[in-house]
Amino acid sequence: EVQLVESGGGLVQPGRSLRLSCAASGFTLDHYAMHWVRQAPGKGLEWVAGISWNSGSVGYADSVRGRFTISRDNAKNSVYLQMNSLRAEDMALYYCAKASGGHYYYYIDVWGKGTTVTVSS
Amino acid sequence: DIQMTQSPSTLSASVGDRVTITCRASQSISSRLAWYQQKPGEAPKLLIYKASSLENGVPSRFSGSGSGTEFTLTISSLQPDDFATYYCQQYNSYSWTFGQGTKVEIK
């Protein structure tokens, strides 16, 4: 069974950092692009970042560019989101998501259950 | 960035109704559009990809159409399990963007 399990969320003060992890199982990670999508409480979905199968292409939403970094370790079947200089508006449920192919022009076909990030002093 | 505009934001309908949701892109995205369904407390679920291709296991009452900048999601006969929020999303270029969502409510 294809599965994505996020971890690393929690309560963090504004300006601090947090690293999210996504453990993939049930498929060969290095064949697929991966993404992070977030959802603030009561709000819609917002794409955060994406990374191609070999890390050769990455993309970020304007709202996080320069503060967040997406990376992957195919040998460890894991994807990461390093979040620096966190702001109140970054507070959300963060989903890890698998694309249907290796590059940015493939849609998301599998979602994790998400990990919650709370930014508050 | 490409902006995705969904309409309506909320839709009240009855079981058995035909429902149509529209999604407009601020520039052409070819057919690189997906539709997702999300229920409260759950992760989104893929319904349609490449504008009109039905994901495996999704009931045939769901259909998608369009290309370029205008897209629609149609539910031919609304069922109780379909009351949820629906999102369109373009994957034509980074940055990806979602529509703001359409909540389908019971009338």
Q: What is the C-alpha to C-alpha distance for residues A86 and A12, in angstroms, rounded to an integer? A: 8
Residue of A4, A45, A104 for testing the chain B interface, max B β-carbons within 10 Å: A45
At B64-92, the pLDDT tens digits run 999 999 999 999 999 999 999 999 999 99
Kindly determine whether residue B49 and residue A109, on different chains, have CB atoms separated by under 8 Å.
yes
Confidence of residue B94 (pLDDT cuts 50, 70, 90): confident
Burial environment of residue A55 by CB neighbours within 10 A (0 to 12, 13 to 18, 19 or more): middle
At B18-55, the pLDDT tens digits run 999 999 999 999 999 999 999 999 999 999 999 999 99
Contact A95, A6 (CB under 8 A): yes
Choose among A50, A105, A113: nearest Cβ to B92. A105
Whether residue B99 lies within 8 A of chain A, CB to CB, comes out as yes
Burial environment of residue A56 by CB neighbours within 10 A (0 to 12, 13 to 18, 19 or more): exposed
Could you say which residues from 2 to 31 on chain B have a Cβ atom under 8 Å away from some Cβ of chain A?
none
Cis peptide before B8 (omega within 30 of 0): yes
Type of residue at A12: V
pLDDT at A104: 85
Contact A89, B75 (CB under 8 A): no
Q: Chain B residue with minimal CA distance to A109?
A: B46
At A16-49, the pLDDT tens digits run 999 999 999 999 999 999 999 999 999 999 999 9
Q: What is the C-alpha to C-alpha distance for residues A68 and A49, in angstroms, rounded to an integer? A: 8
What does DSSP say about strands A10-12 and A115-119: parallel, antiparallel, or unpaired?
Answer: parallel
pLDDT at B93: 82
Q: What is the C-alpha to C-alpha distance for residues B63 and B19, in angstroms, rounded to an integer? A: 11
| Total Cβ atoms within 10 A of residue B79 | 12
Whether residue B86 lies within 8 A of chain A, CB to CB, comes out as no
At B50-65, the pLDDT tens digits run 999 999 999 999 999 9
